[in-house]
Amino acid sequence: MARKTVLVCDDCGKEVGDNKGATMRMTFTDARRGARQADLCDDCAGKMPGHAAARRGRRPKSATAAA
C-alpha cells in the first residue's frame, strides 16, 4: 500500500500542489521561545510581509564581471 503526503496551507486551508508553495519560519530574538513554521500556498506566501533576503556566498564570475 502506497502512502502520499498531502501539504495543506496553514493560512487558507487549500491543498498545496507538488513543487508549489513555501515554508515560512519565524524565529524570535528571545531564544527561549523557540521557532514557528508555517506551510503556505503560492497565493498566501505572496501576501506575507517582509523583504527578499540576499543569497549568501560569492557571486558567479559572470555577475562580477558585469558589475
Condensed to tens digits (0 to 9), the pLDDT of residues 33-58 reads: 888 899 999 888 888 887 777 778 88
Collect all residues with Cβ–Cβ distance below 8 Å to 17 and sequence separation of at least 6: none
What pLDDT does residue 19 have?
85
What pLDDT does residue 65 have?
61
Q: Which residues pair with 64 in a beta bridge?
A: none
Reading the block at residue 57, the C-alpha cell is 556566498
Residue 64 predicted with pLDDT over 70: no
What pLDDT does residue 66 have?
57
CB 24 within 8 A of CB 37: yes
Reading the block at residue 28, the C-alpha cell is 524570535
- Angle 55-35-37 from CA coordinates, rounded to 5°: 70
Residue 8 predicted with pLDDT over 90: yes
CB 24 within 8 A of CB 41: no
